[in-house]
């Protein structure tokens, strides 16, 4: 099961390494302009090439669909003195340099202060949520089993399984970013934190069954068999809970999203829920079992 997890993560790591994970204007600063295109045949690479020729390097272009089925181009550019000097005419200047004809559909400028605050809040959100999850699980299982060290073992096992889910979500984002040009935004952080909460929730269900069985063990039963028994009893519940969310996300992805940011939100949520369900069943419990083996070998059976 752990081998399957590693094989799943590797493609995403490759695409992350070649620049597939693209931060949007909120994280790198600069400008984002949207245009409803008159010519639906215009492609994202054509717009990027036109901007490169005009001296606006580092552009990223995403294509979406408006409510009237017209194509919308979302152009992200890094900070530029020329655009800064253009002021209110920056949107028109971008359209001119990109060689596109269309109606402006939105324009955003993010300065360095907002950029730094967004990055800092994203890091703090992930760090604080992880620490609070570990603390909660340590207290929850530590008090139930009469040993906070054992509770910490449960908490850290859940977090180690969660690392798999985070890497899967980042990898999927890098893959779609490489092929579709979709960018990571603050909405992506929202999906990431939601996946973290959902995945740990699913893990707690299984760990709670392990805790119940630990308090009423069968005579002569090994810990590994107790875990297998606990997972088997929780398996159907985990799948049923996840399928209700997966069905909703698939519908949202197919018919309920218009902008690339919302599509990426649904894609990352879908990947995270699938990965979280898998890791809760096939990663978290084996990690707990391996940890127990290491402790028994180094400190003795008692």
Asked whether 141 and 151 are in contact (CB, 8 A), the reply is yes
Q: Name the strand (E) or helix (H) holding 228.
A: helix 223-255
The pLDDT tens digits for 221-267 are 888 999 999 999 888 888 888 888 899 999 988 887 778 888 888 99
pLDDT of the residue at 289: 93
Mean pLDDT throughout 129-133? 87
Give residue 290's pLDDT band: very low, low, confident or very high (50, 70, 90): very high
Asked whether 114 and 66 are in contact (CB, 8 A), the reply is no
E-assigned strand segments in 92-217: 102-110, 183-184
- In this predicted structure, the answer to whether residue 185 has a pLDDT above a threshold of 80 is yes
Give residue 83's pLDDT band: very low, low, confident or very high (50, 70, 90): confident
Query: How much is the pTM?
Result: 0.84
User: What is the rounded CA–CA span in Å between residue 260 and residue 271?
Assistant: 16
Give residue 111's pLDDT band: very low, low, confident or very high (50, 70, 90): confident
Mean pLDDT throughout 296-302? 83
Mean pLDDT throughout 84-109? 86
Give residue 300's pLDDT band: very low, low, confident or very high (50, 70, 90): confident
User: What is the rounded CA–CA span in Å between residue 130 and residue 201?
Assistant: 13
Per-residue DSSP letter, 89: G
Measured in degrees and rounded to the nearest 5, phi and psi for residue 99 equal 70, 35
Please list, in sequence order, all residues whose beta carbon lies within 8 angstroms of the beta carbon of residue 83, skipping any fewer than 6 positions away. 31, 77, 90, 93, 94
Asked whether 269 and 253 are in contact (CB, 8 A), the reply is no
Q: Tell me the average pLDDT of the chain.
A: 87
User: What is the rounded CA–CA span in Å between residue 141 and residue 153?
Assistant: 9
User: What is the rounded CA–CA span in Å between residue 252 and residue 263?
Assistant: 8
Please list, in sequence order, all residues whose beta carbon lies within 8 angstroms of the beta carbon of residue 72, skipping any fewer than 6 positions away. 34, 35, 36, 37, 63, 64, 65, 66, 105, 259
Mean pLDDT throughout 136-144? 87
**5 vs 257, residue with greater confidence:** 5
The pLDDT tens digits for 11-61 are 999 999 998 888 888 888 888 889 988 887 888 889 999 999 888 888 888
Mean pLDDT throughout 191-203? 87
**Numbers of helices and strands, H then E, in the chain:** 11, 6
pLDDT of the residue at 263: 87
């Amino acid at each position: 099961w752990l081998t399957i997890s590693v094989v799943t993560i590797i493609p995403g790591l490759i695409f992350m390494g070649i620049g597939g994970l693209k931060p949007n204007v909120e994280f790198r600063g600069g400008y984002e302009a949207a245009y409803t295109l008159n010519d639906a045949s215009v492609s994202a690479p054509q717009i990027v090439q036109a901007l490169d020729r005009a001296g606006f390097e580092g552009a990223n272009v995403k294509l979406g669909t408006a409510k009237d089925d017209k194509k919308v181009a979302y152009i992200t550019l890094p900070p530029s003195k020329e655009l800064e000097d253009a002021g209110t005419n920056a949107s028109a200047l971008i359209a001119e340099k990109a060689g596109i004809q269309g109606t402006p559909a939105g324009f955003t400028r993010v300065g360095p202060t907002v950029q730094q605050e967004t990055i800092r809040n994203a890091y703090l959100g992930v760090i604080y949520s992880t620490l609070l999850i570990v603390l909660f699980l340590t207290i929850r299982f530590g008090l139930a089993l009469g040993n906070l060290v054992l509770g910490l073992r449960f908490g850290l096992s859940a977090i180690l399984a969660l690392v798999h889910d985070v890497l899967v979500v980042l990898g999927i984002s890098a893959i779609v970013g490489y092929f579709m040009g979709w960018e990571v935004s603050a909405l992506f952080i929202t999906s990431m934190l939601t996946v973290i909460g959902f995945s740990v929730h699913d893990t707690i269900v299984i760990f709670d069954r392990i805790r119940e069985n630990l308090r009423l063990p069968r005579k002569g039963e090994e810990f590994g068999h107790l875990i297998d028994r606990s997972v088997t009893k929780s398996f159907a519940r985990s799948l049923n809970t996840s399928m209700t969310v997966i069905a909703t996300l698939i519908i949202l992805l197919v018919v309920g999203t218009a902008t690339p940011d919302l599509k990426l939100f649904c894609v990352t949520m879908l990947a995270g829920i699938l990965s979280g369900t898998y890791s809760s069943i096939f990663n978290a419990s084996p990690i707990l079992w391996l940890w127990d083996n290491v402790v028994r070998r180094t400190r003795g059976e008692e």
